[in-house]
Amino acid sequence: MESSQTLNAITDTEAIRRILNGETGLYEVIVRRYNSYLYKVGRSYGFNHADTEDLMQEAYVNAYIHLNGFESRSSLKTWIVKIMLNQCYHKKQKFSYQKEISVQDGIEDKSTPMFSNHNTDTGKTVANNELKQVLEEAVNHIPEDYRMVFTLRELNGMSVNETADALHISESNVKVRLNRAKGMLRNEIRKTYSPGEIFEFNLIYCDGMVDRVMKAIAEIRENN
Whether 74 and 152 have beta carbons less than 8 Å apart is answered as: no
Confidence class of residue 101 from pLDDT cuts 50, 70 and 90?
very low
Cα 36 to its chain centre, rounded Å, is 6
Mean pLDDT of 153-168: 94
Return d(Cα 48, Cα 168) in angstroms, integer: 25
Confidence class of residue 139 from pLDDT cuts 50, 70 and 90?
confident
Other CB atoms within a 10 A radius of the CB of residue 17 amount to 13
Mean pLDDT of 123-138: 60
Task: Name which of 32, 36, 23 is nearest 4 in CA terms.
Answer: 32
Look over the chain and give the mean of its residue pLDDT values, rounded to a whole number.
Answer: 80
Whether 46 and 92 have beta carbons less than 8 Å apart is answered as: yes
Return d(Cα 97, Cα 170) in angstroms, integer: 11
Return d(Cα 130, Cα 190) in angstroms, integer: 16
Return d(Cα 98, Cα 117) in angstroms, integer: 34
Task: Name which of 148, 147, 175 is nearest 161 in CA terms.
Answer: 175
Residues in the chain: 224
Whether the per-residue pLDDT at 97 is higher than 80: the answer is no
Domains delineated in the chain:
4-95+201-223 (1.10.1740.10), 122-197 (1.10.10.10)
pLDDT reported for residue 186:
72
pTM: 0.69
b/e map of 122-151 (b: 16 or more CB within 10 Å)? eeeebeeeeebeebbeebeebebbbbbbbb
Contacts of 99 (CB under 8 A, 6+ apart): 169, 170, 173
Whether the per-residue pLDDT at 194 is higher than 80: the answer is no
